[in-house]
Every structure is written in structure tokens, then in C-alpha cells.
Amino acid sequence: MMRCHLFIYNNLEAIEIAKKLGIDLELDFDTGKLGVKRAELTKIKEASNGIAKSIHGPFMDLNPGAIDYEVRKITHARIKWAIEIARQLEIGDLVVHDGYIPLIYGYSYLKARWLRTANEFFRDVSKLSADAGVRVLVENMFTDDPLIIKELIDGTDLNTCLDVAHLSFSSNFSAAEWVDALTPFIKEVHIHDNNGRTDEHLPLGKGNVDFSAVAAFSSMFTLEVYHEADIIASVEYLREKGWI
């Protein structure tokens, strides 16, 4: 079943919307939800039983390939925290961002260093996630080349969450080229729309993103939109296309 990620809501509100619409859910544990209490986790676990299929972990301000060791240290702590949340909630998949920013690290002398450092980081994350029984999926954000994702997870047990909408404003490679490069590792696909300039998270059909390259992955779709009405409109769009 398709799932949704309603990141502007708290998790209990998102759970109620998902139940109302009869759709599965990706819970949100980004930076704004740090410090969640055990009692709230218990409520989330009970309320989301059967519909929570994945967790989106923290990504704001984080950088797994940072030159500054202290930035990497806090990034590691945040992802370790998210792995522990997934373990406690007994949810198998955790989505984290790759953290690569071409405008900063795209210079050849920095890119190689960033990739090497980030790969070492994700090798450690792979060990942590395996011990916890959690599958970590690395999502593209500003990444411009699918081979960067492959390098990040090389030598790990990690997989990827392909965000096809992010490609429209971040990469000159087509969605089909990303799919060709990453197919063995794609375990989730984030879908939302935009006009090719920025990350708008519009309902499907309200922008110009071409989703045809990921139609074969419809069983892995996660809608990342703002409101209940956006989910309804997007599901109707997918049905009209015959993709669900």
C-alpha cells in the first residue's frame, strides 16, 4: 500500500489523517521532534500499529561528510538517535538524507574528500543499523549525480530512497538515468511535485515533474505533501495514470 509523509504535522495528527484516508504512513522524526518523551513514543507506537512502515530521520543542519569533526559528530548522534527510535517503535526502514551540497563540495579537491569521509560515516551507520535491525535508506536531496549515492553506500548494507521530485531542480541527469544507476538499491520512492526550481512539495500534477520513470516502483511510493487534500488529489492523479 502507498504511504504518506505529512511532515508539517506532529506524528499523532499524521496518524489520524492516514487512518482516515486508509493509507500507510512514514513517521517524521526530523530535528524539530528531538526530545520526544517515552510516553509519547508509546502513544505513537500504539496509534500507528499496522500503518507505520518507515521513519524519516533528522536532516536539517546535518552533514555526514563535513570537514568539521564536530559537525560529523552531531550528525552521527542524530542518526544514531533515529535508529534507536525506529528500533523502539519496531519500524524497519529509516530514511536519512545524503547531505551532499554541490555548490559547496562540488569542487574536485573537496568532493573526493567529502565522499571519502561520508562513506566512512555511512559504513559506521550500516553497522549501527544492522545491530538494531533497522534498514537505512539514503535519500538524495541536492545531489546532482546518482553515482554519488552509489559511492556513499559502497561497502555498506544501506539502500536508497529515491526522491524523484528533488531531481527536477538538482540534477541534469534524468530520472530514468537515476533509476538505471540505483535500481538494485531503491527501496522507497518519494513523490511530490514542483516547477523545477525549488522544493515546493506540491500535489502531483500541480507542477511539471515527470513521474513516468518511477511508475514501476508504485508499490514503494511515499507521498510527501503538506495536507490531507494534497494526498487525495495526488492519489487521484496516480489512479488516472494507472500507476496504482
pLDDT on residue 141: 97
pLDDT in tens, 82-139: 999 999 999 999 999 999 999 999 998 899 999 999 999 999 999 999 999 999 999 9
How many domains does the chain fold into? Answer: 1
175, containing H or E segment: helix 175-182
Averaged pLDDT score across all residues of the chain: 96
Neighbours of 81 (CB within 10 A): 16
79, containing H or E segment: helix 69-89
Decide if 120 contacts 147 (C-beta within 8 A).
no
Decide if 154 contacts 119 (C-beta within 8 A).
yes
Q: Quote the cell numbers at residue 207.
A: 507542477
pLDDT on residue 32: 84
pLDDT on residue 1: 80
Integer Cα distance of 223 and 216 in angstroms? 15
pLDDT on residue 34: 85
Integer Cα distance of 120 and 183 in angstroms? 23
pLDDT on residue 225: 97
pLDDT in tens, 16-51: 999 999 999 999 999 888 888 999 999 999 999 999
Rg (CA), the chain: 17
- Burial zone of 106 (CB within 10 Å; 0-12 exposed, 13-18 middle, 19+ buried): middle
CATH number at residue 69: 3.20.20.150
E strand residue ranges, 132-216: 135-139, 159-163, 186-191
- Contacts of residue 216, defined as CB under 8 A and 6 or more positions apart, other chains included, come to none
Q: Quote the cell numbers at residue 45.
A: 507506537
Question: For residue 39, what are the domain limits?
Answer: 3-241
Average pLDDT estimate for 65-70 = 97
pLDDT in tens, 149-171: 999 999 999 999 999 999 999 99
pLDDT in tens, 191-222: 999 999 999 999 999 999 999 999 999 999 99
pLDDT on residue 58: 96
